[in-house]
Amino acid sequence: MLSAFVNTFKIVELRQRILFTFGLVFVCRLIAAIPLPGVDALMIREYFDSMASTGGGFLGMFNMFSGGALLQCSIGALGIMPYISASIILQLMTSIIPHLEKLSREGDVGRQKITQYTRYLTVVICAIQALGIGLSIQSGNFLGSGLPAEVVRIPGFGFILLTMVSMLTASLLIMWVGEQITDRGIGNGISLIITVNIISGLPMAIKSLIDKMTRIDGVAEIGVFHLALLLFLLAAVIICVVAITQAQQKIPVQFAKRMVGRKMMQGGTQSLPLRVNYSGVMPIIFAGAIMGVPAFVFRFFPWEWAHSASAAMSVGSFWYMLFFGLMILFFSYFWVATQFNPIQIADNLKTQGGYVPGIRPGRPTAEFLDRTMTRLTLAGAVFLTIIALLPSVISSQLKIPWNVSQFFGGTSLLIIVGVMLDTMRQIESHLLMRQYDGFLKKGKLRSGR
């Protein structure tokens, strides 16, 4: 494996792609560090330090995806989230609106048109979110907590307009950078930007863990035994995430001989892979976005019952974890129902002369695929629920800071593992294509150059 990493820099094209990716990722991190014009950066930093213990929920996830830029009121506070939101909305609407569904079947031309619609929707979402952030900063009610009035040096319409233009430009620039990484770099650009933003919180997490191990009056909150337990748990969770992410059930498909033009196409046996975790990290994102709304809204009401409801729905509480787990189960099936079309797959197999052994082509094949995917989705949904709730359990039971426990599961770990596997797979394909040894597979010959 070490030789594979060394070989990546021996291939000129691959080396250029990797360096190009590193350069653009640095640009994204630079954008996340630039404060909004018209605000006191030092005061924002102090406010950010006071909010460092902010837990999960949608705002915590939003801040994690932006690499901490949200709590610092950076021009990159919106990050790539508006583009992701627009992509998810268009993807869900594709299965509902006939025009979008028709475009998705028209190949590259249709996909380019959908990408164009996604960019237009990104601009709209960016403008609305930037307007909300600008108004909340100026009013001193940023993220539900009081900001000093002096944080905005010259309040007014000019500050709101400048905030909207700055955040909109930064978010569109990050979107463009992600597309450039996908086309001319290595890996999926949008996913890599999110992964780097998540990993950027790792130094602060290590610092928080070291602070917990520091002895205060001769007693440390985290001892050597707890540290060893955490490291063992981290390794076990990563292994399980990799296994479930890669897990799939292969459905055997038999193809009969058929005449294509004047050629006789030979039949054979192939496999139709069905992923156990078909929905990926989407159910956790949907559930986290919805679960973060009640606790955030209730804190604005003056009534006592509203504050009690906000506390009951806060991250780590029993009711939060109960409803969060149920919503993950629901959205796992919802995503599969909207994205997996067994009828279309069965029709394609029938058109190509393929069939599942023991199952009649057509509707029986679609029903068989639907039953199989339902069982696989249950296993994947239960796994997602456990992984999503694990950081909250670790944070509440072991008294571990949230910025540390989030690396033991949840959205962050699933994204990091998935993106790393995909990036390594692309690098490995470049190595094997040029006869080098890959990370796991061996090339036919070792290059002499």
pLDDT, one tens digit per residue, over 251-274 is 888 877 665 556 666 667 788 888
* Per-residue pLDDT band at 149 (split at 50, 70, 90): low
pLDDT of residue 123: 92
pLDDT of residue 40: 76
Write down how long the chain is: 449
CA dist., res. 242 & res. 245, Å (int): 5
Instruction: Give the best-scoring range by mean pLDDT among 7-11, 213-217, 434-438.
Output: 7-11
* Per-residue pLDDT band at 201 (split at 50, 70, 90): confident
8 contacts 168 by C-beta, under 8 angstroms: no
Q: Name the residue with higher pLDDT: 290 or 444.
A: 290
Residue 379: in which H helix or E strand, if any?
Answer: helix 363-397
Taking the complete model, does pTM exceed 0.75, yes or no? yes
Q: State percent of the chain over pLDDT 70.
A: 80
The b/e string for 206-215 (b: 16+ C-beta within 10 A; e otherwise) is: eebbeebeee
Q: Name the residue with higher pLDDT: 294 or 239.
A: 239
pLDDT of residue 26: 92
Q: Mind listing the pLDDT tens digit for each residue in 39-96?
A: 877 776 666 565 544 455 556 666 777 777 777 778 888 888 888 888 888 877 887 8
Which tokens go with 259? Answer: 């005449």
Instruction: Give the best-scoring range by mean pLDDT among 159-168, 230-239, 283-292.
Output: 159-168
Flag whether pLDDT at 448 surpasses 60: no
pLDDT of residue 270: 81
Q: Name the residue with higher pLDDT: 437 or 344.
A: 344
Which tokens go with 135? Answer: 């108004």
Torsion of the alpha carbons at 337, 287, 193 and 316, rounded to the nearest 10:
-150
* Per-residue pLDDT band at 37 (split at 50, 70, 90): confident
- Over range 412-424, report the average pLDDT: 83
Phi, psi (degrees; rounded to nearest 5) at 414: -65, -40
CA dist., res. 352 & res. 344, Å (int): 12
Mean residue pLDDT of the chain comes to: 79
Q: Mind listing the pLDDT tens digit for each residue in 320-352?
A: 888 888 888 988 888 888 888 888 888 888 887
CA dist., res. 305 & res. 311, Å (int): 10
CA dist., res. 104 & res. 120, Å (int): 17
* Per-residue pLDDT band at 173 (split at 50, 70, 90): very high
Burial of 171 (0-12, 13-18, 19+ CB in 10 A): buried
Domains of the chain: 18-203 (1.10.3370.10), 231-399 (1.10.3370.10)
pLDDT of residue 267: 63
Q: Name the residue with higher pLDDT: 71 or 419.
A: 419
Q: Mind listing the pLDDT tens digit for each residue in 358-397?
A: 888 888 889 999 999 999 999 888 988 888 888 878 777 7
Contacts of 28 (CB under 8 A, 6+ apart): 67, 76, 174, 177, 193, 196, 197
- Over range 155-179, report the average pLDDT: 89
CA dist., res. 293 & res. 1, Å (int): 45
Q: State percent of the chain over pLDDT 90.
A: 6
